[in-house]
Structure 1
Amino acid sequence: MLAAIIAQRKKYDVETRLPWDKAIHDQVIERTSGHKVVALYAAFNHEVDTYAIMETLWWDRTLTLVLPKISNKVMTFHPVTGFQDLTPRTTWNP
């Protein structure tokens, strides 16, 4: 099923996906109110655009945004304060 969802999403161009990504962005931002830490993932390929969500969250100085990193099959979460904190993708290519 995941493969079918990814295949379908890849059929749409960025402009078509934009309103969907914006709706998800707005829902995520709405749900972060009152939280001190928010975990998110950095989007790959044709996944939902999480970079716009990151940019919005970075404006809230009372909040810490953390992203996962996997090393030796262990997932840990690390604070990120800007795009400079991200490392290039090396895996996950559906």
Structure 2
Amino acid sequence: MMNQAGILHLLLFSFALLFLSIHAQSPLEAVNRSNEEKKAEKFLVEAEEVLRVAAEKLSKVSWTYSTNITEHNEKLKIEEEEINCALHVYLGSLS
């Protein structure tokens, strides 16, 4: 069982940890971090939707080419692959 001095030391240590954790970042830093997190989340949501639509379109064009191999469908597939690749590079450069 702890004596009074041990309990006092434990309480002081706990308060010191609490004080340090509260003051580890200023409220302004917390707000800025929150804004950065919101920007990142917005970017990810928007990028995910753009990539989903692009992947769906590429999938359809690829399927069309796979089931009807013509020069026209091959050209469409290659164009869509290039667009998809450029989109990935562009979004990757923004992150």
- TM-score in terms of structure 2 length: 0.28
Structure number with greater Rg is 2
Normalized per residue, which structure has more helix? 2
**TM-score w.r.t. length of structure 1:** 0.28
